[in-house]
Amino acid sequence: VIHWYKQKEGEAPERILFFSGGKVTPESGFQANRYMVESISVQRQCVLTIKDVIPDDAATYYCAYWDPHLWSTWVKYFGMGTKLIVSEKGSSPPANSEILQKKRENEIMYVCLIEKFYPEVIRVTWTDDEKEVTDNVVKGDTWQSTKEDEYSIASWLTVPAENKDKKYYCNYEHEGEKASVSTQVDSAKTAPQEEDCGTVFNRGNLMYQLTHRTAYLVYIILLLKSSMYYLIVLFFIYR
């Protein structure tokens, strides 16, 4: 049984239908004739098609299914979600993508800037010559450029200084376009020294995101330390 959920921004997800035995059963309030579900068992896929799309259909859609777990319990697994944007404007790929780098004492930070694309949905990943890199990777939120219908995004990767000669790639997928930028080509620009860093990294709200991220991590560390001290005090009190 495959379940499909719809989640509007700022709202809780709601189930719109479930699919079982080749039959679609919609929830009340959802028109069955507008939703078509197809199961492709060979490819282990379930495809949801929405007919006659209207602005109210704009949301993120999730598929889900129940699976037996330990101790006779059931767990519902959700997909990553697909965001549907309803707009009269056609999509436009990123107008620019580049990598900036900033060297510190024992590490190098690569910042990948992808600018001026529409719609705002984009997937950004980092890879080396062998595999995807997920450690020490932070993806920022998209922000609007000077024009309301253009968006930009930044993602940064931090690596040890001894990896300065290793090649990394910033990859993005936007609508039907895929591209990548390398850290070892001319497009990889070196950031100026400390006095000019604000000029380089202050594109959109990138600097704000870096500061916010650092403050968040410091807050978590302090919270964990406070919790540890609290447990130690409780231990001696009850002892």
Asked whether the beta carbons of 101 and 188 are under 8 A apart, the reply is: yes
Q: Could you report the per-residue pLDDT of 221-230, keeping only the tens digit for each? A: 666 666 676 6
b/e sequence 176-210, b meaning 16+ C-beta within 10 Å: eeeeebebeeeebeebeeeeeeeebbebbbbeebb
Domains 2-84 and 96-182 in one fold: yes
How far is the C-alpha of 129 from the C-alpha of 180, rounded, in Å? 12
Structure tokens, 20: 């079982």
Percent helix, percent strand, percent coil in the chain, to nearest 5: 20, 45, 35
CATH fold of 96-182 reads Immunoglobulin-like (2.60.40)
Please name the residue that has the structure tokens 């004492």: 105
When the candidates are 3.40.50.10800, 3.40.50.1100, 2.60.40.10, 3.40.50.720, the CATH number that belongs to 2-84 is: 2.60.40.10
The confidence band for 206, taking pLDDT boundaries of 50, 70 and 90, is low
Percent of the chain whose pLDDT exceeds 90: 36
DSSP per residue, 14-66: EEEEEEETTEEEEPTTS-GGGEEEEEETTTTEEEEEESS--GGG-EEEEEEEE
CA dihedral for 27, 28, 30, 31, sign (positive or negative):
positive
Please name the residue that has the structure tokens 């944007």: 85
Residues belonging to the chain: 239
Q: Is the pLDDT of residue 185 over 80?
A: no
Mean pLDDT across the stretch 199-226? Answer: 54
What integer best gives the mean pLDDT of the chain? 81
How far is the C-alpha of 76 from the C-alpha of 78, rounded, in Å? 7
Alpha helices, DSSP H, located in 74-205 = 197-201
The confidence band for 168, taking pLDDT boundaries of 50, 70 and 90, is very high
**Domain assignments of the chain as residue spans, ordered by start:** 2-84, 96-182
Q: Could you report the per-residue pLDDT of 116-133, keeping only the tens digit for each? A: 999 888 999 999 988 999
Which residues touch 152 (CB under 8 Å, ≥6 apart)? 113, 114, 115, 116, 117, 142, 143, 144, 145, 203, 204
